[in-house]
Structure 1
Amino acid sequence: MSTGAKRAALGKGLEALLPSKKPAAEPVAPPPPAPSVTVIEGKPKEIPVEAIERNPYQTRTRFDETALAELSASIAELGVAQPILVRSLPGGKFQLIAGERRWLASQRAGKTTVPAIIKEVSNEQAMEITIVENLQRADLNPMEQAKAYQRLSSEFGLTQEQMAKRTGKDRASVANFLRLLKLPESVQARVEVGEISFGHARSLLALEDSQLIEKAALKVVQMGMSVRATETFVQNQLNPERKLGKVETVEEPPIDPNVKEAQTKLQRTLGLKVRIEDKNGKGRVVIEYANVDDFDRLLEALA
């Protein structure tokens, strides 16, 4: 599948899950109705932020505080550009289906209401829409994506092929993310915070033994290995007699704490290995990707 074809497929999964838009001329009131909200499926309405409850099916576990603050400032100045998606609950309450960052940022911006499209869907539909919508975003870290695919498999019985069609991904990509769940929990945590990229994690899986993977992951982090160096290191561990080459062990000069913090933030946001080479305020930012899917995610994030 070409890169262009893959990009064209993005977004189809969520549309397939949502009910077709109904004519806007017929308002439908939920039982019981919210005090000051008219529920019309397909049309955004302003609803109180305090009437909205967090989605228990949310896949995302981490939000970048800097990005959230920037979004909050934008909303305070210009308002919410894209409505959130909710469903009605008893007692005039609503539950988020999609748009948690916009909801949180609206609260931080001091907004009392937020534009929302209200959809009447079941628990199962709400869960599936939320998971698929999150998987179509570019800024989920690899472990969040892996766990989301796992939920689609375990709770909805979807095959890898079906998950790929729902999210606009290819089946091999889905399979690779699911493989990350075989990593030891300590290594999964490193992937989640961006210390180890998706490409590093895939290389480490070849070791199979949990203790070997943990030791290798620690070495990758300590030495700042690239994905290619990690692959060579893993092959040396698997086939020491072949002497495929030695990983450079010369210690790198200490990294400025500010540069290291920026590097970590970029890795966490992009889900890829990032190296900042700085010398007296000048240098370059090197972003490594292991395959076309990584490259696509990088382009979407930068765009």
Structure 2
Amino acid sequence: MSKKPERRGLGRGLSALMADVNIEPNQDNTVPRRPESFIPIEKIEPNPEQPRRHFDEQALQELADSIREKGVIQPLIVRAHPSKSDMYEIVAGERRWRASQLAQLHELPVIIRDFNDTEVLEVAIIENIQRADLNPLEEALSYRQLMDRFGHTQEKVAEALSKSRSHIANLLRLLNLPDEVQEYLRDGRLTAGHARAMITADDPIGLAKEAVSKGLSVREVERKAKSPTAEKKPKNRPVIEKDADTRALEADLSATIGMKVEINHRGEEGGTVVLSYKDLEQLDAICQMLTKL
């Protein structure tokens, strides 16, 4: 039976690992780190658990051209191979390794670290998050991996990666969208703003198709996401008189959280509490309050 990763706070698991991950979008404007040694390229192998599976061929070729001209500016991070003697496994830098093969380099600059399997995967995920070409869905999946596999909270991930918690929360909500909408987002036909507006829509797939075919703006999608719910409300709903205590409680809650609160109490049957938000920032505030309960 495989052993589950230890659930821990930042410790060495995130903050210390961050110091080792230094990703360059290209070979320019980057402060090089000093390599500990140079290793023949044939003695280096990729990590089979690397979460990033797709490497754009054109971007790799551009990096290979840069490497031919300037060399590998940023050393790879490697560890001793867990099962092969005199071999090394990539912890961070597989893209540079692939491009160096295209450039026909014979050896690569490396920094050798003594990482266990859990830390190797964690660094690989952090490396992917820092990449400039990551789409919103890939970024959200990387955050989810850090949280689910290693027990990190949104607050800890935000702190370690210098992101706002609302940024991470907004991206994670994209994972609740139907697969078809996620596919539109993945291939760039929808922006993250479009997709976030569809989260509360009654028919997110239909709205996504309309947004793509008509080229709707984010604001237009937001309006359409709200309108179906409004249309479904009964026009002649009987008015239920609320007692003074209920109205006072609604007013107190509304003043406390800064949003409209409606309490519908049905006696022994229970009831509902409805929070009305005006925009995505208020929705994020509601999510933060609920997750802290």
Q: For the superposition of Structure 1 and Structure 2, which TM-score range results when normalised by the shorter chain?
A: 0.5 to 0.7
1:203 aligns with 2:197: yes
Are positions 1:62 and 2:54 aligned together?
yes
- 8 Å contact kept, 1:14–1:133: no
Q: Which residue matches 2:17? A: 17
Deviation >6 Å, runs of 4+: none
| Structure 2 equivalent of residue 239 of structure 1 | 230
Number of positions where the alignment pairs a residue of Structure 1 with one of Structure 2: 208
Match of 2:90 in 1: 96
Highest CA radius of gyration, 1 or 2? 2
Alpha-carbon distance between aligned partners in 2 of 1:50 and 1:224, rounded to the nearest angstrom: 49
Where does residue 207 of structure 2 map in the other structure? 216
Q: Secondary structure at the match of 1:47?
A: strand
Following superposition, the deviation at residue 236 of structure 1 comes to: 2.5
> Counterparts of 1:197 and 1:57 in 2: how far apart (Å)?
29
Deviation of 1:138 after TM superposition, in Å, equals 2.5
Give the whole-Å Cα distance in 2 for the aligned partners of 1:79 and 1:91: 27
Query: Of 165, 182, 199, which aligns to 1:188?
Result: 182
Partner residue of 1:255? none
TM-score (structure 1 length as normaliser):
0.62
Q: Residue 118 of structure 1 aligns with which residue?
A: 112
Could you say which structure has the greater relative contact order, defined with CA pairs below 8 angstroms and 6 or more residues apart?
Answer: 1
Change (3 A) 1:142 1:60: farther
CA distance in 1, matches of 2:46, 2:209: 36
What's the CA shift string for 1:160-182, capped at 9, x where partnerless? 11111121111111111111111
Quickly say closer, same or farther: Cα 1:57–1:160, change in 2 above 3 A. farther
Relative distance call for 1:161 and 1:18 in structure 2 (3 A) is closer
* Aligned sequence identity (%): 42
Q: 58-67 vs 157-166, which deviates more?
A: 58-67
Q: Where in structure 2 are there 5+ consecutive unaligned residues?
A: 1-12, 21-33, 234-279, 282-293
C-alpha distance in structure 2 between counterparts of 1:61 and 1:238, whole Å: 40
Give the deviation of 1:18 after TM superposition. 6.1
Alpha carbons of 1:59 and 1:226: their partners in 2 closer, same or farther (altered >3 Å)? farther
The one of 56, 78, 82 aligned to 2:70: 78
Shift of 1:114: 1.7
Following the alignment from structure 1 to structure 2, what is the Cα–Cα distance between the partners of residues 99 and 19?
A: 14
Aligned with 1:115: secondary structure? strand
